[in-house]
């Protein structure tokens, strides 16, 4: 019963999310939601760790750009906040690399979360779409990876609401 209720809640919340492909490229899928950057980021971390996955690193992208911008004499602020969460799934990564050792390039997985100075209440959550491959085994595993990323993002956004 709890599983059915959780599924229904996630379905309703997912319907309220806006998921759009990024206009500027074909390698990213972008979700948007309204809210607080820290809450969404923390909920994404919870969704990753709740699946027993270890976060390798959190890259503080906006801080890096602000710091290096000063060194370069650039004052334009790209992001208000931007972080990238890197993690891996031992199960999926092993399958992915067993299918084709060059699939190593698709690991670790990452989800970025950011907001923009002009729209501080709009939080963007984005992941890199796995590469197109011809090998059927790799293609199936990349489908599993993309499902994992989508599920984590949908759960993370719903937890932040």
Give 45-67 pLDDT, tens digit per residue. Answer: 999 999 999 999 999 999 999 99
Could you tell me the CATH number of the domain that includes residue 122?
Answer: 3.30.310.70
- Is residue 19 over pLDDT 60? no
Q: What is the mean pLDDT of residues 128-133?
A: 92
Domain count, the chain: 1
Where are any strands of DSSP class E within the chain?
18-21, 28-34, 54-60, 81-88, 109-116, 119-128
Give 21-49 pLDDT, tens digit per residue. Answer: 345 678 899 999 999 999 999 999 999 99
In sequence order, what are the residues at sequence separation of 6 or more whose Cβ sits closer than 8 angstroms to the Cβ of residue 28?
Answer: 21, 22, 126, 127, 128, 129
Domain of 26, in residue numbers = 2-160
Report d(CA 159, CA 161) in Å as an integer.
6
User: How many Cα neighbours within 13 Å face the side chain of 149?
Assistant: 29
């Amino acid at each position: 019963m709890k599983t059915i209720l959780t599924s229904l809640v996630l379905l309703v919340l997912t319907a309220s999310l806006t998921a759009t492909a990024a206009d500027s490229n074909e390698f990213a899928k972008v979700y948007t939601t309204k809210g607080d950057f820290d809450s969404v980021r923390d909920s994404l971390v919870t969704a990753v760790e709740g699946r027993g996955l270890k976060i390798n690193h959190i890259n503080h992208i906006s801080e890096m750009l602000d710091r290096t911008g000063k060194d370069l004499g650039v004052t334009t602020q790209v992001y208000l906040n931007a972080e990238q969460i890197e993690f891996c799934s031992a199960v999926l990564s092993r399958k992915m690399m067993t299918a084709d050792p060059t699939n190593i390039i698709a690991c670790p997985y990452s989800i970025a979360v950011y907001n923009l100075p002009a729209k501080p209440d709009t939080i963007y959550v984005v992941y890199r779409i796995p590469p197109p491959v011809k090998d059927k085994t790799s293609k199936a595993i990349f489908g599993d990876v993309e499902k994992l990323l989508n599920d984590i993002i949908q759960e993370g956004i719903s937890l932040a609401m």
